[in-house]
Structure 1
Amino acid sequence: MKFSTKAALLSALLFPGLGQALVLKRPKRALCFIVPALLAMLWLLRAAYTAASRIVDQITAGTLPLDPVLIQQQIEATNTGPGGNLAAAVLLVAWLGSILDALFVKP
């Protein structure tokens, strides 16, 4: 298997930029993918944790019954604003960019 294929698989299946760092030995280029992806993922995880905490607090307070339909509606009503869409887009671009970089960009 070619090094570029191994790097693309690592970047696709584990985390963006890992293929550049571990297989292709390009640490600076790897950081161009790892840092934005990590920041975007942390932002999305924080938003999900905040929404889940709010729903759990409502359930424990008794204001939201243990009805799956009502809980689903509460989850759908959660608004992360434009930051959520931006973070998801950054994560997607970093992931796809790292795969394409590993496959097609020559050293």
Structure 2
Amino acid sequence: MKKSLKGALLSALVFPGLGQLWLKRRLSGTVLLLTTLAALAVISAKLTDRAYRMVEQAEAEGGAVDLFAVARAAQAASFADRSIRVAWLVLMVAWLVGVLHAYLAGKQLEREQQEERQEGGGR
């Protein structure tokens, strides 16, 4: 499998930034990895906080906690909360950039290796 394809697949299917790290593009891989983790942390923290507040409210009112209702309300809140929408956008952009950058970095590495082989064979 070509390096460009393998790097793109690592970033697309496993985690953004892994393709860059595999291609030894450590800085861009680390930036993408940390950006993705930060976006996931914001989304997770906001939704967990929202669900926790809803459970507390249901308990305070003396009613039974309906976990499905909590999940639906937390999901609805994710579309209403601006910071969560921004975090989702950052996550999607990081994923897309990770795939495209890994593919292009892999192509560049393939070209450099091919040029080295041609120069070595011409001697």
Do both share a fold (TM > 0.5)? Answer: yes
Query: 8 Å contact 2:55–2:70 — kept in the other structure?
Result: no
Distance in 2 of aligned mates of 1:41 and 1:101: 20
Specify whether residues 13 and 61 from structure 1 end up closer, same or farther in structure 2 by C-alpha distance, changes over 3 A only: same
Distance of aligned partners of 1:84 and 1:28 in 2 relative to their CA distance in 1, 3 Å threshold: same
Q: Report deviation, 1:84.
A: 1.1
Partner of 1:91: 91
Written as runs of structure 1 = structure 2, the 5 A alignment for 1:54-69 is 54-62=53-61, 65-67=64-66
Q: Which has the higher helix share?
A: 2
Residues 39-89 of structure 1: CA distance to partner in whole angstroms, max 9, x if unpaired? Answer: 111111100110111122123223554457754664355366321111111
Structure 1 pair 7–46 and aligned structure 2 pair: CA distance change class (3 A):
same
Structure 1 match to 2:24:
25
Question: How many residue pairs end up in the alignment?
Answer: 106
Name stretches of at least 5 consecutive residues in structure 1 with no aligned partner. none
Name the CA shift for 1:41/1:72 in 2 (closer, same or farther; >3 Å).
closer
Q: Distance in 1 between matches of 2:24 and 2:68?
A: 49
Q: Unaligned stretches of 5+ in structure 2?
A: 110-123
Q: % of aligned pairs identical?
A: 35
